[in-house]
């Protein structure tokens, strides 16, 4: 889940934005002035900062500059009320990644946030293709073959296999699966994991009753072997 710091002195606007962001499953911290923001930023890791340009104590521009001067590179989206303020401010010297002027639609704000987060966080080490036994998988084309015949995997099944492959040989507990594959905003039971293992075995094992790749480690979890 992405963590966003919202810096805005108008309480009503702050609340509105916070609620929208939360409904999109972002975690939001809010402050109403830039010195509080400055502290928060130093004590916490944010994925993105939403910064209103007019703040009581330190100006938003100053905060932005200060952060960049410290080589803090969290993406920053500036929010301004007046178009002509941008001119003074958003110039690149300041180091904001994007800006949006009031009034803006929530949809646009959310879209901009999403666009920036997407750009920043791309998966570093993902195998695009992988094969084991008589199974081969193309994670870019989302195609899986067993003995050259296509098998149908759901999106979650692809994710699980991908995770397994990245952690080959390692025993993964059901809880870890739920954390890492499902994420922090979904809470199925651990039985859900078993069921996915079951269906994956049916699809990729020669003999699902005697799995060679998706191995049960009793009372611990499952592991993948090539």
Q: Which residues of the shown chain bind DNA in the complex (CB under 7 A)?
A: 107, 152, 154-157, 174, 182, 186-189, 191-192, 194-198, 201-202, 208-209, 216-221
Question: What are φ and ψ of residue 206, in 5° steps?
Answer: -65, -45
Contact assessment for residue 55 and residue 9, using Cβ atoms and an 8 Å cutoff:
yes
From candidates 87, 123, 148, 210, binder to a copy of itself by CB under 8 A? 87
Q: How crowded is residue 17: how many other Cβ atoms within 10 Å of its Cβ?
A: 22
Residue 29 interaction partner, one of a copy of itself, DNA, none, beta carbon < 5-8 Å per kind: none
Q: How far is the CB of 194 from DNA (least distance, A)?
A: 5
**Binding to a copy of itself by residue 105, rule CB under 8 A?**
yes
Choices 36-44, 102-110, 193-201, 204-212 (CB under 8 A): range interacting with a copy of itself: 102-110
Residue 95 interaction partner, one of a copy of itself, DNA, none, beta carbon < 5-8 Å per kind: a copy of itself
Residue 117 interaction partner, one of DNA, a copy of itself, none, beta carbon < 5-8 Å per kind: none
From candidates 179, 195, 202, 206, binder to a copy of itself by CB under 8 A? 179
Residue 171 interaction partner, one of a copy of itself, DNA, none, beta carbon < 5-8 Å per kind: a copy of itself
How far is the C-alpha of 180 from the C-alpha of 63, rounded, in Å?
Answer: 34
* The dihedral formed by the CA atoms of 24, 29, 33 and 38, expressed in degrees to the nearest 10: -120
Token code pair at residue 86: 């941008």
Q: How far is the CB of 103 from a copy of itself (least distance, A)?
A: 4
Q: How far is the CB of 54 from DNA (least distance, A)?
A: 27
How far is the C-alpha of 162 from the C-alpha of 148, rounded, in Å?
Answer: 19
Token code pair at residue 180: 């890492």
Whose Cβ is closer to DNA: residue 54's or residue 171's? 171
Residue with tokens 């108008």: 10
Q: Please measure the distance between the N-terminal and C-terminal CA atoms of the chain and give it in whole angstroms.
A: 31
Q: How far is the CB of 31 from a copy of itself (least distance, A)?
A: 17
From candidates 44, 56, 127, 184, binder to a copy of itself by CB under 8 A? 184
**Coil, helix or strand at residue 176:** helix
Contact letters for a copy of itself, residues 35-74 (x by CB under 8 A): ---------------------------------x----x-
CA-CA distances (angstroms) from residue 222 to 20, 160, 170, 211?
A: 38, 11, 8, 11
How far is the C-alpha of 113 from the C-alpha of 99, rounded, in Å?
Answer: 10
């Amino acid at each position: 889940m992405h963590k966003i710091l919202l810096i805005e002195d108008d309480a009503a606007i702050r609340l509105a934005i916070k609620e929208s962001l939360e409904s999109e499953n972002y975690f939001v911290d809010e402050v109403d002035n830039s010195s509080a923001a400055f502290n928060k930023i130093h004590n916490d890791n944010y994925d993105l900062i939403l910064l209103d340009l007019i703040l009581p104590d330190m100006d938003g521009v100053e905060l932005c500059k200060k952060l960049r001067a410290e080589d803090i590179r969290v993406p920053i989206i500036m929010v301004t009320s007046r178009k002509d303020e941008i001119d003074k401010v958003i110039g690149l010297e300041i180091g904001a990644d994007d800006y949006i002027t009031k009034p803006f639609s929530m949809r646009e704000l959310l879209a901009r946030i999403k666009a920036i987060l997407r750009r920043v966080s791309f998966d570093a080490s993902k195998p695009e293709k992988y094969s084991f036994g008589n199974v081969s998988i193309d994670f870019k084309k989302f195609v899986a073959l067993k003995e050259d015949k296509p098998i149908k995997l759901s999106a979650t099944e692809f994710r699980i296999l991908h995770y397994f492959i990245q952690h080959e040989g390692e025993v993964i507990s059901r809880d870890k699966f739920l954390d890492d594959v499902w994420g922090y905003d979904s809470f199925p039971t651990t039985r859900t994991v078993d069921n996915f293992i079951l269906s994956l075995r049916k699809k990729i094992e020669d003999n699902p009753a005697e799995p060679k790749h998706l191995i049960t480690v009793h009372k611990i979890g499952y592991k993948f072997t090539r």
